[in-house]
Structure 1
Amino acid sequence: MKKYRYFMDIDSEEQWLNKMAYKGCELEGRGLLSYRFADEASSDNSTIRIDYRTFTHPEDFTDYRTLFEDSGWKHLFSSQGLHYFRKEDANASDDIFSDTESRAGRYKRLLQSYFALSFLFLSFILILYTTKALTIDLFIRPQSLYYTPGLWDKTGAAFIRAFLFETPIALMRGGAGWIVLFSALSFFYLFMKTYKKYRKCLYVQ
């Protein structure tokens, strides 16, 4: 069974997965915009937790998994630095983090990732702008993407034919700029949101 969802917040994703687990939906994997659950309902509605961490060496990842499994948490799968765990031991803690410091560490690692991605996309925007590949007109005058001479002076069927012919090309010209801008703003938003959670964890300490 597949469920299509997109989360910009790791805590919201975790809450939703636990609601699905409560309904008997056993998590098996995930794609870019989808989650895969076992076809048959499970009577085991164990808790799901998510951590974020990257590894340079395979043995570090093996030690990481072993540490959690020894604590009663089964590693289900990993996706883009996110690691999904399910509580297997009824006597294990309800959280994979033993204290607020380790929980704050997860947010700190996410912060570093979001900052790097924000910086990357903002740098890309600057490069495109300085090389004239991206201009302000793209955002305030979308019609500047249309290069057909005299297009906006045409009327009737002639205008419609010319407009429809060039629109796909114009979208390809402008699409990249909008995607880069949206990505930069999205990662910056995630950075600020995660920073607030990180600060909150430190305050709780």
Structure 2
Amino acid sequence: MYRLKFFIDFEKEEQWLNQMAKNGYHLQSTSFGYHFQRGKAENAIIKIDFRKFKKKEDFIDYCTLFEDSGWKHLAGTKNSGIQYFQKVDSSYEDDIFSDAYSKASRYKRYANTFFELAISFIPLLIVFYLTDIIDPKALINPKELYLTPGLWAKTGTSFWFSFLFETPFALMRGIAWSFIPVTIILYLFFGYKSNKLYLQNRE
């Protein structure tokens, strides 16, 4: 089964995944959403960390450390950041973090990733503006998205025919031109929310 969801709050995501396991849906992978396999219902304990690795060896050592502590690595890669673990040995603790600060620090790493992504798009946005690939006036005045000469001077049937004909193309231009600015805003927002969760949970 496939489910498309997005979480900023890891604890809410953990609760949802544990409930899915209780309903008999077990996490298999997290590539562009959540992929579950139907199976026996169980009271699973799934925890989430956020870490990226430059070397594959470091990622393997990281997963091995958790496996040696009674936690199975369910999903995540060395570059994905979000790592999913399920407790498989009842003799160990029910959490993968030793204290509140280390648990909160995953949100700080998450926030930094969003801020870095936002910053990485800014040079591209500037280049697109300077080369007129993106028209900044169109983001303020949607009329600029319509390229038909004299469109706004037309009246009656002639206006409506031209307007309705070009509107789909104007919408596509608007979506294309606003993609990068909207992406930057979203990354900044997600970074802000993640940092807020870090501040709330670090005590």
Question: Which band: TM-score by shorter chain?
Answer: 0.7 to 0.9
Structure 1 residues 178 and 57 mapped into 2: Cα distance closer, same or farther (>3 Å)? same
Name the CA distance, whole Å, in 1 between partners of 2:61 and 2:105.
Answer: 18
- Partner of 1:130 in structure 2? 130
Question: Aligned-pair distance for 1:136?
Answer: 3.8
Q: Is the 8 A contact 2:74 2:85 kept in 1?
A: yes
TM-score, normalisation: structure 2: 0.87
Question: Superposed, which structure 2 residues align to 1:101-180 within 5 Å?
Answer: 101-180=101-180
Structure 1 residues 184 and 11 mapped into 2: Cα distance closer, same or farther (>3 Å)? farther
Question: Aligned-pair distance for 1:43?
Answer: 3.0
Name the CA distance, whole Å, in 1 between partners of 2:124 and 2:162.
Answer: 32
- Partner of 1:90 in structure 2? 90
Name the CA distance, whole Å, in 2 between partners of 1:87 and 1:159.
Answer: 65
Name the CA distance, whole Å, in 1 between partners of 2:66 and 2:116.
Answer: 28
Name the CA distance, whole Å, in 2 between partners of 1:176 and 1:102.
Answer: 40
- Partner of 2:62 in structure 1? 64
Structure 1 range deviating more: 21-30 or 46-55: 21-30
Name the CA distance, whole Å, in 2 between partners of 1:24 and 1:62.
Answer: 29
Deviations 1:111-131 (A, max 9, x none): 221111111223333333333
Secondary structure, counterpart of 1:83 in structure 2: strand
- Partner of 1:43 in structure 2? 41
Name the CA distance, whole Å, in 1 between partners of 2:188 and 2:91.
Answer: 39
What is the number of equivalent residue pairs in this alignment? 201
Question: Aligned-pair distance for 1:67?
Answer: 0.5
Code of the aligned partner of 1:51: D
Question: Aligned-pair distance for 1:88?
Answer: 0.8
RMSD: 2.1
Question: Aligned-pair distance for 1:156?
Answer: 4.0
Question: Aligned-pair distance for 1:36?
Answer: 1.6
Q: Is the 8 A contact 2:46 2:87 kept in 1?
A: yes
% of aligned pairs identical? 43
Deviations 1:157-199 (A, max 9, x none): 4333322332233233221232212211111111111212222
- Partner of 1:2 in structure 2? 2
Q: Is the 8 A contact 1:24 1:45 kept in 2?
A: no
Q: Is the 8 A contact 2:71 2:88 kept in 1?
A: yes
Question: Aligned-pair distance for 1:86?
Answer: 0.9
Q: Is the 8 A contact 1:27 1:37 kept in 2?
A: yes
Q: Which stretches of structure 1, 4 residues or longer, exceed 6 Å deviation after superposition? A: none
Deviations 1:48-86 (A, max 9, x none): 111111111111111111100111110012152211111
Name the CA distance, whole Å, in 1 between partners of 2:164 and 2:13.
Answer: 41
TM-score, normalisation: structure 1: 0.86
Code of the aligned partner of 1:168: P
- Partner of 2:76 in structure 1? 78
